[in-house]
Structure 1
Amino acid sequence: MGDAEAGAVRPEGSRDRDVAGRARNARPRDGLGRPLPYGAQGVARQPEGVLRTPQETVAEAQALLDAGKPFHAHEVFEDAWKSGPESERTLWRGLAQLAVGLTHAARGNTTGGARLLRRGAGAIEGWASGKGEAGSYGMDLAGLAGWARALAERVERGAEPVDAGAEAPRLGS
């Protein structure tokens, strides 16, 4: 947990930096990844750059989705997309787009949420068409794509607010 997440206040005029000196926003975040004021109690962030097996990635992301934390699940998928084999990047990026699409929908961003849900659905369908069941790590990619498109339609109609936990997809079949 960073200083800001522990309740410290950022010094006026300073910039948040990681240990390598890269700019990073250390503000605490809520369960949907929205920044909170410095000093506020936030939700623990997912560590970046964690190497996981595909099965660990799916299990951790599912637990976060079930807990109503799609933004955090997106970060887990992003680690797989950035550190995994080039041949799997479309899959993990598509799954990250589904998670962040759910995040935007839950935040009330209907346009961005629907767009990302559809983009992610297209990516995982495109990836799966050439890989078959063997490359899906036990995920029901066709079912996920259907879930994403159906949610995108509901979000655009604005029928009701999206509850990220209640709308969380099942990654496995």
Structure 2
Amino acid sequence: MTNQAREDRDRAADGRAQNQRPRDRYGRPLPYGAVGVPRIPDDAVFTPAEGLAEAQRLLEQGYAFHAHEVLEAVWKSAEGPERELWRGLAQVAVGFTHAQRGNAVGAARLLRRGADRVAGYGADAPHGVDAPGVAAYARAAAERVESGEADRIDPAGLRLTRGSAV
């Protein structure tokens, strides 16, 4: 890569690379100037309750990639053993993203990896997360993807929390 190409990359104020291109509903980059789906800012901060509510809203609308970005923001700010719960939730959401994009292998792997990580928190997962339900839903989705039924999985059916309230 030439120095010029490096200088032309989108950069955060601290110099870190960041992609500011607009994205489609599945998170795929669009050309600069195209109209895309509103993005979750790279520096977004969500409390666990805010993150769960926003991610659930996005999943229900079929925006798994954007839900993943919200859950990833919570993961990056979480501390201690709870961090892995958020990492697993983000992996489940990005697993649905891969399925939506037609990447069956990546979808099944991430759905299972996220399910395994979340399942370890059991029925008493923090913040009302329905860890057993999320894990079961993600594993069932992975099985459908592997059996060639990726069109039968639906991120809108995933419920992140126990009960109806987020």
Q: TM-score, normalised by structure 1?
A: 0.83
CA distance in 1, matches of 2:89, 2:143: 18
- How has the CA–CA distance of structure 1 residues 105 and 160 changed in structure 2, closer, same or farther, with 3 Å as cutoff? closer
Match of 2:18 in 1: 24
Task: Tell me how many residue pairs correspond in the alignment.
Answer: 157
Match of 1:150 in 2: 140
Contact 1:68 1:168 in 2 (8 A): no
1:41-60 counterparts in 2 under 5 A? Answer: 41-60=35-54
- How has the CA–CA distance of structure 1 residues 43 and 162 changed in structure 2, closer, same or farther, with 3 Å as cutoff? farther
Match of 1:141 in 2: 131
Contact 2:144 2:153 in 1 (8 A): no
**What's the Cα RMSD here?**
1.8
The Cα of 1:86 is off from its aligned counterpart by 2.0
CA distance in 2, matches of 1:145, 1:159: 19
Match of 1:7 in 2: none
Q: Which amino acid aligns with 1:170?
A: R
The Cα of 1:50 is off from its aligned counterpart by 2.7
User: What do residues 71-95 of structure 1 show as CA deviations (whole Å, max 9, x unaligned)?
Assistant: 1111111111111112211100000
Q: TM-score, normalised by structure 2?
A: 0.86
- How has the CA–CA distance of structure 1 residues 162 and 30 changed in structure 2, closer, same or farther, with 3 Å as cutoff? farther
Match of 1:172 in 2: 161
Higher helix share: 2
Q: Which moved more, 1:84-93 or 1:110-119?
A: 84-93
User: What do residues 109-140 of structure 1 show as CA deviations (whole Å, max 9, x unaligned)?
Assistant: 000000000000000012x14xx52x431221
User: What do residues 36-59 of structure 1 show as CA deviations (whole Å, max 9, x unaligned)?
Assistant: 112211111101233322111111
Contact 1:105 1:162 in 2 (8 A): no
Report the 3-state secondary structure (helix = DSSP H, G, I; strand = E; otherwise coil) of the residue aligned with 1:161: helix
CA distance in 1, matches of 2:24, 2:133: 29
